[in-house]
Amino acid sequence: MVALTEEMKKAFATVKTFPVATASKDGWPKVVPIGFVELIDDETIWIADNFMVKTLANIKENPKVSIYVYGPDTKGCYQIKGDVTIKTEGMEFAKMQETVHSKMAKAPAKNLMIVKIREVFQCSPGADAGKKLL
């Protein structure tokens, strides 16, 4: 796994809603906006599943995601790719539920997606667009 730089972590902290992409085992892509995305450490992102149907099915078939990190306050634009593990119990799951319920009491907080960061790419326009950073 790879660790995000300080600049990447600062960019991540400014985003409120993240476009998260998955694909079925047959390669059909899907992108959804997700608000409950949290950087846990330099190598790990948590995504809370409140209303996932097709996204959850894709992750079960093909446990990989791509997360787009960009917004008006970010300095840079990044595409983070990672491997996903689904948790439905345990301490991490309970902590995710607590976080979600503190912001949205009636949210179901059904699953915790633990993303281990594998690669990071530049997605700002210019000569380095698409360049692998990590």
Q: Is the pLDDT of residue 128 over 80?
A: yes
In a domain, 15, yes or no: yes
pLDDT at residue 63, rounded to an integer: 98
In a domain, 128, yes or no: no
pLDDT tens track for 43-57: 999 999 999 999 999
CATH for 25:
2.30.110.10
Whether the CB-CB separation of 20 and 32 falls below 8 Å is answered with: yes
- Number of domains into which the chain is organized: 1
In a domain, 132, yes or no: no
Q: Is the pLDDT of residue 1 over 80?
A: no
67: number of Cβ within 10 Å: 22
pLDDT tens track for 60-90: 999 999 999 998 888 889 999 999 999 999 9
Give the whole-angstrom CA distance, residue 119 versus residue 72.
Answer: 23
Which domain range does residue 46 map to? Answer: 6-122
Whether the CB-CB separation of 62 and 25 falls below 8 Å is answered with: yes
- The pTM (predicted TM-score) of the whole model is 0.94
Beta strands per DSSP E along 1-134: 18-23, 29-34, 37-41, 44-49, 64-69, 78-87, 111-122
Q: Which tokens belong to 62? A: 């093909």
In a domain, 22, yes or no: yes
